[in-house]
Amino acid sequence: MARLVRDLGLKTCIEGVVEKLEEDYGRWETFQKSARTANHCELGVVELMPSSTDEEFAFKYVNGHPKNYLHGMSTVMAFGALSDLKTGWPNLLSEMTLLTAIRTAAMSVFAAKHLAKADSTRMAMIGCGAQSEFQIIAFNEILGIREFFVFDTDPHAAAKLKRNLSELNVTICNSIIEAVNGVDIVTTCTADKTKATILTGSMIEPGMHINAIGGDCPGKTELAADVLTKGNVYVEYEPQTRVEGDIQQMSADFPVTELWRVLQQPSAGRMSDSEVTIYDSVGFALEDFSALRWVYSMCQKHAYGEPIDLVPIMPDVKDLYGHSGLVRSLV
Ligand SMILES: NC(=O)c1ccc[n+]([C@@H]2O[C@H](COP(=O)([O-])OP(=O)(O)OC[C@H]3O[C@@H](n4cnc5c(N)ncnc54)[C@H](O)[C@@H]3O)[C@@H](O)[C@H]2O)c1
């Protein structure tokens, strides 16, 4: 995956995934959709994320363990597969840690393209971990955001981001309030298994678009409740976000709009430069389906990847026992 991304360039990869997202969100009704299954423990979660059309099936295995850095492991690690739904034949087994960062950045710009002010130029980035550079590059290269104001409670993470993106206009800030002051877009991308208040209502300015990525599990939020009442809230798949998103704090009838509706009916999106828009992102299986479709198309076009013996190919498909060399000799 890293070779593919280096060869094609990150911008091309994010654009490729955005294209697939547009196709798949455009045929939302044709998907078999479900909220992901999540197995929790005190330190984190492991999730399985399936989705399909009538033709193709995809799933992602992904974890979320904010304290994993203490053990030399990433907060988010993932892999996944794409298969033919008509036969169940697996076509692709793929790494998805890097791919998740790419698809999450693609999804953020996909949402912001429809929800943020068209003339946005300044973004705050709260949380400078594994996802952060991908977010900033996507917003810079695809939406033309030119100035970035970043903050992390870990100064090493903020310094790492600035070093990695030395060609961009990145300012390290001393507080969240300093970072969000006067920006058009705020991306929150922190990891902490708690009801955090990264943003409060008093920090929100007219016209802001909030791209809230890190609140994505029961008991793990980033926005104070008074942020969510500042403007319209957009979600990926309502049944999943009600449980996992920042809106888990609100009543069951708190109004939200699923993003696919904005594609079909632009009047469901931003209507004026002064309104606040909030994308309460949790990550939905359809997006991983789109990302895997993109990887598979790249593998076919550019001959990346390699064949592996994941399932048996047998001359007699009913003779698994014999094919596996388990027939015992009588002598
Ligand atoms: N919505 C989605 O589709 C999606 C996709 C991928 C990851 N995520 C979530 O995004 C978050 C970030 O993922 P990552 O891989 O970058 O994690 P990471 O652990 O690599 O980085 C998180 C950063 O947040 C910082 N942080 C924690 N609390 C903070 C606070 N109060 N203020 C400022 N900074 C703070 C940490 O110091 C760390 O540098 C995670 O919560 C993850 O679950 C969501």
Query: Could you tell me if residue 229 is left (phi over 0), alpha (psi between -120 and 50 degrees) or otherwise beta?
Result: alpha
- What is the atom index within ligand 1 of the atom nearest the CA of 196? 31
Task: Name, in order, each residue with C-beta under 8 angstroms of 63's C-beta and a sequence gap of 6 or more.
Answer: 44, 45, 46, 47, 76, 77, 78
What spacing in Å lies between the alpha carbon of 191 and ligand 1's midpoint?
3
Confidence of residue 330 (pLDDT cuts 50, 70, 90): confident
Distance CA 57, CA 310 (A): 17
Residue with tokens 């455009």: 26
What's the pLDDT band for 331 if we cut at 50, 70, 90? low
* Per-residue buried b or exposed e for 263-291, using 16+ beta carbons within 10 Å of the residue's own CB: beeeebbbeeeebbbbbbbbbbbbbbbbb
Measure CA of the first residue to CA of the last residue in the chain; give whole Å: 50
Supply the pLDDT for residue 266: 85
Neighbouring residues of 9: CB distance < 8 A, sequence distance ≥ 6: none
Question: Which structure tokens are listed for 180?
Answer: 């969000």
Mean pLDDT (the chain) is 97
**Candidate from 76, 151, 178, 243 with most ligand 1 atoms within 8 A of CB, to mutate:** 76
Cα–Cα distance for residue pair 16/239, rounded to 1 Å: 28
Whether residue 117 is predicted with pLDDT greater than 90 in this model: the reply is yes
d(CA 62, CA 78): 4
| Ligand 1 shell residues, CB under 6 Å | 64, 66, 75-76, 100, 104, 126-132, 151-154, 157, 189-192, 196, 198, 213-214, 216, 281-283
Spatial contact of 108 and 277, defined as CB atoms under 8 Å apart: no
Alpha-carbon gap, residue 147 to 143, rounded angstroms: 12
Task: Give the C-alpha separation, 108 to 263, whole Å.
Answer: 14
- Could you give the C-alpha distances from 130 to 4, 134, 212, 233, 234, in angstroms and in order? 19, 8, 15, 26, 24
Residues facing residue 212 across a β-bridge: 188, 280
Residue 145 tokens, joined: 């955001």
Domains of the chain in sequence order: 2-98+286-323 (3.30.1780.10), 117-283 (3.40.50.720)
Q: What is the C-alpha to C-alpha distance for residues 331 and 265, in angstroms, rounded to an integer?
A: 74
Q: Is 273 a catalytic residue?
A: no
Structure tokens given for 286: 């359809």
Catalytic annotation, pick one of 184, 216, 280, 288: 216
The pTM of this model reads: 0.97
Nearest CA to ligand 1 atom 1: 282
- Write the pLDDT tens digit of every residue in 257-304: 999 999 989 889 999 999 999 999 999 999 999 999 999 999 999 989
Measured CA to CA, the distance from residue 167 to residue 178 in angstroms comes to 22
Average pLDDT over residues 135-150: 98
More reliable by pLDDT, 147 or 264: 147
